[in-house]
Amino acid sequence: MKLVALFINKIKQAAIAKELDAHGVELAAMQSIGSLLHTLKRGDVQAVLLEDADTQLIDWLAMLQMRMAGVVPVIVVGGASGLGMAEALAHGATDYAEYTGSIDQLLARLRARVGRSCAPAKQGMEVGPYALDSASSSVLCDGVEINLTAREFALAWVLFSNVGRVVSASSLAARVWGRSTDVCKRTLEQHVYRLRRKLSGNGTDSAIRIHAVYSIGYRLDLLTHGRSAWPATDFGLDAGMRLTSELPGARQGNGSVGAWGER
């Protein structure tokens, strides 16, 4: 069995590699998500191990979902701190195994997952009056197609996939632009602004609303009679956390939004 792993804690990674080797499992350590993706493309890897490394994990899972969804099982290795099983699975992990000095649980997870077919990537979804189709990169609202660019569709897909949940800016950048860095805040803001306008048809009776959650990311809500179907506190938000729904500078006329190009 051949695995690839991406860990922040290299000591922990080395300990796991040594124990797995004793059971005939080869573990290749990757230095970055880029090198991991490149290795996966060769097709000789049977599973991926990722360390539960807080927000880093979300970015790694986002990249794997976008580039290599369903190719091999992705097992997150937990510990004393991190996002935890629920968050890891919600962001695309196949399974989760705790590691506290023994690899028994990890081995059991690997034996249960390796060699089995992964669930096919989701091709379409419906949220309220909206229908998204990843095969054609199209979004319909009550049967009428909304004209989106490729990046706007990718952004819509991530937000609709996580309806009611906050998606971090870094995770959006990773899924839409293929990287979690070098995408400036302004670029993301203006893409969200344009998507918001297109999904609402420039009207006031939209069935969804995209909120900017200050210093974190964005959340798409399905509205019921003009109100969010979920209160903000259902998703780990402080009752006092500031929510904004307009692109900074849009009301002040600081340049035309449409003048910005794709990145």
CB 111 within 8 A of CB 75: no
Report yes or no on 33 lying in a domain. Answer: yes
Identify the pLDDT of residue 121.
Answer: 53
Distance (Å, whole) CA 41 – CA 160: 28
Helix, strand, coil % over all residues of the chain, rounded to 5? 35, 20, 40
Cβ neighbors of 49 (< 8 A, separation 6 or more) are 3, 4, 5, 6, 7, 16, 27, 75, 76, 77, 106
CATH number at residue 23: 3.40.50.2300
Residues 149, 252, single domain; the answer is yes
Residues 107, 131, single domain; the answer is no
Cβ neighbors of 101 (< 8 A, separation 6 or more) are 15
Residues 160, 197, single domain; the answer is yes
Report the relative pairing of strands 2-6 and 26-29 from DSSP bridges: parallel
4-28 burial: b if 16+ Cβ within 10 Å, else e:
bbbbeeeebbeebbebbeeeebebe
Residue 153 parent element (H or E): helix 150-161
- Of 113, 136, 159, the position where a domain reaches its end is 113
Which pTM does this prediction carry?
Answer: 0.56
Residues 74, 136, single domain; the answer is no
Report the relative pairing of strands 2-6 and 74-78 from DSSP bridges: unpaired
Distance (Å, whole) CA 167 – CA 154: 13
Range of the domain at 162: 124-259
Domains identified in the chain, total number: 2
CB 48 within 8 A of CB 75: yes
Phi, psi dihedral angles at 183 (to 5 degrees) = -110, 110
Q: pLDDT averaged over consecutive 10-residue blocks of the chain (263 residues)?
A: 91 92 91 88 89 81 75 86 81 87 89 67 80 86 89 89 87 73 79 91 70 90 62 36 36 34 37
Report yes or no on 202 lying in a domain. Answer: yes
CATH number at residue 174: 1.10.10.10
Report yes or no on 118 lying in a domain. Answer: no
DSSP string, 52-84: --THHHHHHHHHHHHHHTTSS-EEEEE-SSSS-
Q: How many CA atoms lie within 13 A of 231 on its CB side?
A: 5
- End-to-end Cα spacing for the chain: 40
Distance (Å, whole) CA 226 – CA 163: 16
- Of 64, 80, 113, the position where a domain reaches its end is 113
Residues 87, 158, single domain; the answer is no
Distance (Å, whole) CA 149 – CA 71: 27
Query: What's the Cα-to-Cα distance from 122 to each of 57, 118, 125, 133, 139, rounded to whole Å?
Result: 21, 12, 8, 9, 15
145-156 burial: b if 16+ Cβ within 10 Å, else e:
ebebeebbbbbb
